[in-house]
Amino acid sequence: MTASSAPTVIAPSSAALGADGTPRTYEVRTFGCQMNVHDSERLSGSLESAGYVRAQTGTDADVVVINTCAVRDNAAGRLYGTLGHLKSRKDAHDGMQIAVGGCLAQMDKDVVQQKAPWVDVVFGTHNMGSLPSLLERARHNDEAELEILESLEVFPSTLPTKRDSVYSGWVSISVGCNNTCTFCIVPSLRGKEKDRRPGDILSEIRLLVDDGAIEVTLLGQNVNSYGVEFGDRQAFGKLLRAAGQIEGLERIRFTSPHPAAFTDDVIAAMAETGQVMPQLHMPLQSGSDRILRAMRRSYRSDRFLGILDRVRERMPHAAISTDIIVGFPGETDEDFEDTLRVVERARFASAFTFQYSIREGTPAATMADQVPKAVVQERY
């Protein structure tokens, strides 16, 4: 448990105790991005604060929590496949509980319990801290609990956190997203961007360092738009510089920025702050300006490449990675060739490449000219 947010652990609640009076065990399974990894640390922290203990590797936990992702079309298949496997374990494990949370739970709501009625708790992205009480209610009432909040009530960083690493930690600087990319379901699930105050972020980093961390990764759906909510468009660069002044902190990373709002003051802060790693994850998505327009990505390929040039001018050996989507609706062979040309010029250190998949509820899902799956796979 980190010193950054861990409350004093009180006596375990009745729900956290087995029939023999010993603490019940838990396991958290994480699907998805770094935000979900950090959310899972908070789920673990909340459970341990309530008296649960982490299950030993290779043993069946009394409580299995699945923290879901909704970005890809195979997310639902992966979830229900996992739940089907867990059903047989639950049938043989008296008192076992299964909880499903995160983005897919937020999106599907009632569907999870319709398809997997043996699930005990379904919760969303805005109420992670209520998991222990939902488990207790489900156990006491012997019926499933569904609680999906539509907006954030308590900033997640106020929750206790069980870190997976001694030397590094995640620090959320914002939650939610104000962008309207036509392929992405995340803004409708995590809501509009909410920024933490710089003082709160820096205090959390100091406490992590006091707890043994020498590296932090700053997290946000779009980290370089940080500060817009409280009227400071240069807040992210200032935050990097201020974090670099914290004694004992050796490495600072962040993910992910958006090319449209990536400014030279951030590049300068990276280059001039020794603790900031010469590493940048900059999502391209497509090298075709026509497709970028259809994606509602508010930059074009020349601007993207210009950012990389300016980064390398200040940090010649910077490792730059990216995200690329192939097969977006309407993508032609010419559009795909444009992407290949930009990739060649960008000289990425690595790339996460995805086949476009329809996400219900997004504008791209109903666009004409969906690319045949065989063509998408060939381009991938």
103 — pLDDT class (breaks 50, 70, 90)? confident
With CA atoms as reference, report the closest residue to 101 among 125, 70, 134: 125
| Whether the domain at 14-147 and the domain at 165-277 fall into the same CATH topology | no
Strand order in the sheet with 215-219: 168-172, 215-219, 251-255
199 — pLDDT class (breaks 50, 70, 90)? very high
Q: pLDDT tens digit string along 233-285?
A: 899 999 999 999 999 999 999 998 999 989 999 999 999 999 999 999 999 99
Confidence check: pLDDT of 7 > 50: no
Question: Which pLDDT value is given to residue 6?
Answer: 43
Assess if CATH 3.60.15.10 describes domain 285-380.
Answer: no
308 — pLDDT class (breaks 50, 70, 90)? very high
Q: pLDDT tens digit string along 11-52?
A: 556 678 887 888 999 999 988 777 778 888 888 888 998 899
Q: Is 27 helix (H, G, I), strand (E, B) or coil?
A: strand
Question: Which pLDDT value is given to residue 8?
Answer: 39
2 — pLDDT class (breaks 50, 70, 90)? very low
- 276-296 mean pLDDT: 97
With CA atoms as reference, report the closest residue to 174 among 285, 68, 261: 261
Tokens of residue 371, six digits: 């690319």
- Whole-number mean pLDDT of the chain? 88
Residue 104, CB-side half-sphere exposure with 13 Å CA sphere: 25
Question: Which pLDDT value is given to residue 216?
Answer: 96
- List the helix and strand counts (H, then E) for the chain: 13, 14
CATH architecture of the domain with range 165-277: 2-Layer Sandwich (3.30)
188 — pLDDT class (breaks 50, 70, 90)? confident
Residue 223, CB-side half-sphere exposure with 13 Å CA sphere: 25
CA dihedral sign of residues 218, 282, 294, 372: negative
Domain boundaries, the chain: 14-147, 165-277, 285-380
Partners of 174 in beta bridges: 195
Class of domain 14-147 as given by CATH: alpha beta
**Any idea what the Cα angle at residue 40 is, between residues 101 and 107, rounded to 5°?**
25
